[in-house]
Structure 1
Amino acid sequence: MKTICLYFEIHQVVHLKRYRFFDIGTDHYYYDDFENERSVSDIAERSYMPALNTLLQMIRDNGNAFKVAFSLSGVGIEQLEMHAPQVLEKLQELNNTGCVEFLAEPYSHGLASLANEESFKLEVKRQAQKIKEYFGQTPKVLRNSSLIYSDDIGLLASQMGFKAMLTEGAKHVLGWKSPHYIYNCALAPKLKLLLRDIKLSDDISLRFNNSEWEGYPLFADTYMDEIAALPDEEQVIGIFMNLSALGIDQPLSSNILEFLKAFPACAKQRGMTFSTPSEICMKLKSISSLDVPDTLSWMDEERDVSTWLGNPMQREAFNKLYSVADRVRIARDPRINQDWDYLQASDNFRFMSTKPSRVGMDRGIYDGAFDAFTNYMNILGDFLNRVNSLYPADIDNEELNGLLTTIRNQGEEIEMKEKEVIRLQGKVDKLESEEDKLRLQVEKEVIGKAAPKNPSHNTPAKRTVKKKKKD
């Protein structure tokens, strides 16, 4: 029986402000708050809320017959917390249905998996904690930024305890193989791989509203007929896209949500189901390993990382940023860490791209790739100065790590002693309270012994009565 794995990514670009060379050293705030608030509010109104309301109604109308998966970058969650908390509330409402799975991904939606393993692991861990806080789920499946994957990244994910990863069903990797099976990592056989069907996903996210496309207009029954026509043994159909495809890339006026609403009924008529990534991994076994020695992604025709690292400007910015990855991780300065998350986001490097792309790109304030590079490098220059000013630059990472470990150990020891002092003080207070109670009890006993044994036999009233009887 065929099953459809429907997955949506939620991530928000953190827009950088215009930052001049002469701002370096004087201005340490890098963000366009007005544009961030405007863009998040706009996408929430035009895409996220209508799309999530539709998905919620689909679940209510179809019960366990319809299921969906999401992942949210930590940076995206932060932007929604500030500017569109109703989106997070709606996601929690969806989570309460029991038909939604949330996946892990890097906190920054960055490229740490290509540069620094420790930073990548820390980011994924932080994002997973955020998902746990909001939705009570501990992610079992990992989705790297833009589905970036290689054998080495798969091995790292397996070592982190994940059961599966999502990635692209790229033709240059699959060859004659189909993306409609479960595969496993070549270096970690226990890690299962769920692949994105490029055509079926892009028919919705890229081509749905294109009147010049040969498949236009696309109807739900036609779409499901195409899936049903696949060979019987091809059981897993991965349809992965950004949630913003519903309302932004494909406007609501195109009836994209009405198209989506018809999915459950059309699938049921053809004997197909919907499943979350974890359910698929539990039910189905891998048919073979998938060799991916070179990194792939879901971006552009090449399906590689050239979108972010394809020209010298991008590589220079990338190398300079990650040259301080260890120092940032070691230092653990809250303000530095937040800027580190935002500067890592892959969007910053994509804005520097000079390659033609089949997907339209809005560079925002930038006139072009070089303008994006110049602005980013000015900001990065100030950021690097701040990182290096935390501790003397002549201290290497290993020595710095040793010093900070000693400081943290001392801090932890002081904290433990403070807790012990509080515990002992509580014990003293308890003993003093018991002492006060005992003193009061002793005083009562002493007073009781000093009083007459039968005072009622000799009261004035008694004596008066006796005298009257004698009279």
Structure 2
Amino acid sequence: MRTICLYFEIHQIIHLKRYRFFDIGNDHYYYDDYANETGMNEVAERSYIPALNTLIEMVKNSGGFKVALSISGVALEQLEIHAPAVIDLLHQLNETGCCEFLCEPYSHGLSSLANEDCFREEVLRQRDKMKQMFGKEPKVFRNSSLIYSDEIGGLVASMGFKGMLTEGAKHVLGWKSPHYVYHCNQAPSLKLLLRDFKLSDDISLRFSNSDWAEYPLFADKYINWIDALPQEEQVINIFMELSALGMAQPLSSNILEFLKALPECAKAKGITFSTPTEIVTKLKSVSQLDVAYPMSWVDEERDTSCWLGNVMQREAFNKLYSVAERVHLCDDRRIKQDWDYLQASNNFRFMTTKNNGMWLNRGIYDSPYDAFTNYMNILGDFIKRVDALYPADVDSEELNSLLTTIKNQGDEITELEKEVAKWQAKAEAAKKTTVKKAADAKEPAVKEKAVAKSKPAAKKAEAKKAVAEPKKATGKAKKAAAK
């Protein structure tokens, strides 16, 4: 049976201050609170709230509708501060039991391309955050902007994930179809779900475009396209940003009405909706996927050039991750939070010089050079703060040795805790055994005491009888003598 995996992502741009509006070296707060609050409220009102209400309604009104969501930790922080109504709706959607929440890097950053330890740490932190908020530990992973390579897949599998979402890029698939389940060539246990970029972009990019040949797009036409695919192609993965519903495609285009009609039209064709975990659990992989170089869902190239395509971007990227190990060592809460926000991928996206004919939101910046200058000034101040905690002249081997020592100590503590728990369990068992033996030993002692009490009473009775018998005999003797 053919099934649709419908997935939305939520991430939020953190707007930085213009460096000339604060005192480098003295003012260490880098964010434009007004722009962040305004931006979050706008996208919440125009997109997130009406879109989430629609998804909740779709679950309640159509028996088999299911959906998946991925939300970065940074986006959750901003939502909790500026748009708590969105958090409430996420909980309502979770309570329906028809929404799966996926895991991703906490910062929605590019650590998977730079530093394995950083990547692992923020993925595990995000997994804990999702479990704490929604009650379930995510089993499926999606990297920032669906970035994937063989090496990244192997790392994700080592963290215990069963599936991963990525792009069905033509330069990787060739003649193959994205409508099957594949697996990582370094870890066959990790199933891969590939995005159908055409069907996804028909909704997220082209839906309201009156110059598009398929305009206007109705739900029955869209489902007919899916139904017309070869019967053996069972999995249709439609992935997009949630903000596409209301921002990229305005609500006046009837995008939400289109979405509401999809389940009924799909049901009429025998097409179901499934969550990513259901798909990777039920369906077998048809083949491994070979991805030597990282791919993503961004731009025509479907690679990482939108973040690391020019000298400025690579300079900023390398400078940021040059302090990764020292940030990993520190426990300063402000530095940790700034690290999350400075890693966000949009900081590097603003610096792109690519001209692909698409409009790009550069945030507060007038040009990629402006974005680079502002970011590097802020990054310079951040690195000075890190240097104050861990001087830059510390040898990298010394840092690695310290990190290894900390890790080994952590492992030793874990093992000791296990040993303590084991001995405590043995002590409890021994205590129970001792109590039982004492109880068993007490019963015979009680019986002996009872017997001992009864013996003196018997002796007294015998003594009385003995006294009575001599007296009786004496009386008889007197009578005989009298005769």
- Mapped to 1, the partners of 2:127 and 2:358 lie a distance apart of 29
Which structure 2 residues correspond to residues 445-464 of structure 1 after superposition, within 5 A?
Answer: none
Name the counterpart of 1:448: none
- Mapped to 1, the partners of 2:172 and 2:10 lie a distance apart of 26
Which structure 2 residues correspond to residues 334-353 of structure 1 after superposition, within 5 A?
Answer: 334-353=333-352
Name the counterpart of 1:34: 34
Instruction: Give 1:143 deviation, angstroms.
Output: 0.1
Instruction: Give 1:359 deviation, angstroms.
Output: 4.5
- Mapped to 2, the partners of 1:256 and 1:397 lie a distance apart of 53
Amino acid at match of 2:11: H
Instruction: Give 1:92 deviation, angstroms.
Output: 0.6
The 3-state SS of whatever aligns with 2:364 is: coil
Name the counterpart of 2:286: 287
Closer/same/farther in 2, CA of residues 246 and 406 from structure 1, 3 Å limit: closer
Closer/same/farther in 2, CA of residues 50 and 24 from structure 1, 3 Å limit: same
- Mapped to 2, the partners of 1:47 and 1:397 lie a distance apart of 46
Amino acid at match of 2:341: Y
- Mapped to 2, the partners of 1:335 and 1:22 lie a distance apart of 17
Check the 8 A contact 1:300/1:358 in 2, yes or no: no
**More displaced 10-residue stretch of structure 1: 108-117 or 12-21:** 12-21
Name the counterpart of 1:464: none
1:114 partnered with 2:123: no
Instruction: Give 1:392 deviation, angstroms.
Output: 2.5
- Mapped to 2, the partners of 1:16 and 1:363 lie a distance apart of 12
Closer/same/farther in 2, CA of residues 225 and 310 from structure 1, 3 Å limit: same
Name the counterpart of 2:73: 74
Name the counterpart of 1:50: 50
Name the counterpart of 2:227: 228
- Mapped to 2, the partners of 1:90 and 1:396 lie a distance apart of 49
Name the counterpart of 1:325: 324
Name the counterpart of 1:389: 388
Name the counterpart of 1:92: 91
TM-score normalised by L of structure 1: 0.85
The 3-state SS of whatever aligns with 1:247 is: coil
Name the counterpart of 2:3: 3
Name the counterpart of 2:460: none
Closer/same/farther in 2, CA of residues 343 and 113 from structure 1, 3 Å limit: same
Name the counterpart of 2:18: 18
1:59 partnered with 2:49: no
Name the counterpart of 2:253: 254
Amino acid at match of 1:303: R
Closer/same/farther in 2, CA of residues 333 and 401 from structure 1, 3 Å limit: farther
> How much identity, in percent, do the aligned residues show?
70
Which structure 2 residues correspond to residues 187-226 of structure 1 after superposition, within 5 A?
Answer: 187-226=186-225
Aligned residues: 412
Name the counterpart of 2:144: 145
Q: Calculate the aligned-residue CA RMSD, in Å.
A: 1.9
Instruction: Give 1:170 deviation, angstroms.
Output: 0.3
- Mapped to 2, the partners of 1:12 and 1:114 lie a distance apart of 20
- Cα distance per residue 1:137-173 (max 9 Å; x no partner): 1010010000000000000011111111100000000
Name the counterpart of 1:268: 267
Name the counterpart of 1:445: none
Amino acid at match of 2:361: D
- Mapped to 2, the partners of 1:318 and 1:303 lie a distance apart of 19
Name the counterpart of 2:276: 277
Check the 8 A contact 1:330/1:401 in 2, yes or no: no
Check the 8 A contact 1:327/1:397 in 2, yes or no: no
Check the 8 A contact 1:211/1:217 in 2, yes or no: yes
- Mapped to 1, the partners of 2:392 and 2:282 lie a distance apart of 53
- Mapped to 1, the partners of 2:125 and 2:147 lie a distance apart of 19
Check the 8 A contact 1:12/1:40 in 2, yes or no: yes
Closer/same/farther in 2, CA of residues 346 and 394 from structure 1, 3 Å limit: same
- Mapped to 2, the partners of 1:210 and 1:81 lie a distance apart of 34
- Mapped to 1, the partners of 2:397 and 2:70 lie a distance apart of 35
Instruction: Give 1:333 deviation, angstroms.
Output: 1.7
Check the 8 A contact 2:325/2:399 in 1, yes or no: no
The 3-state SS of whatever aligns with 1:307 is: helix
Instruction: Give 1:186 deviation, angstroms.
Output: 1.1
Instruction: Give 1:396 deviation, angstroms.
Output: 2.4
Check the 8 A contact 1:20/1:378 in 2, yes or no: no
Amino acid at match of 1:113: S
Instruction: Give 1:301 deviation, angstroms.
Output: 0.1
Question: Structure 1 runs of 4+ off > 6 angstroms?
Answer: 406-410
